[in-house]
Amino acid sequence: MSDNVKIIASTVLSENWGKLNKVKYENRLKDGTWQTHEREVYNRGNGAVILLYNKEKGTVILTRQFRIPTWFNGNTDGMMIEAPAGLLDENDPEECIRRETEEETGYTVTDVKKVMEVYMSPGSVTEILYFFIAAYSDAMKTGEGGGVEKEQENIEVLETSFTRALEMVTSGEIKDAKTIMLLQYAQINRLLEA
């Protein structure tokens, strides 16, 4: 831990799906003086996300599912188009993303590549998201996908052209940051070019 931060008080506000704390702390500035702040910190664990791509077909695999926070913020049906993702649940990020890929999409991927680690909302959320990519083929389809029933997941699997996915970012059909970042990564690195 840093000598530049002192926790004065931490109060649990909620401990349901994640843990929400109200934290009062001091941090030392460059000039040596201390500032006092109060913030809410949400800890829901770390996660992993993957973009499945097929260079020969020029396609990517995405998912569509309901997200209540987006509905509260004006997304009229609450549905989001996203890259497959999930919480680590104490697992290794690569192990997690392989499991989530199979559960959500029905594809069993072999070679996954980690491309980055990102704090998605560092002003209030502790989560680090591990970003992966993997090539897929029709032969890797080993199940239906759709999520895990006991987790009450109801996920629609979408196979779409990479070009169409980029158009959906521009049109606002895809508004999920992790998905946009992976699509842009694929574009910058020309993953789907022959």
Q: By the 8 A CB rule, do 178 and 120 touch?
A: yes
Residue spans in the chain of domains classed CATH 3.90.79.10: 47-188
Q: What number does CATH give the domain 47-188?
A: 3.90.79.10
Question: With bands split at pLDDT 50, 70 and 90, how would you rate the model's confidence at 76?
Answer: confident
Q: Which amino acid is at 16?
A: N
Tell me, yes or no, if the pTM score tops 0.85. yes
pLDDT tens readout for residues 5-49: 999 999 999 999 899 999 999 999 999 999 999 999 999 899 999
Residue 179 sits at φ, ψ, to 5 deg, of: -70, -45
pLDDT tens readout for residues 127-183: 999 999 999 999 999 988 877 666 656 789 999 999 999 999 999 999 999 999 999
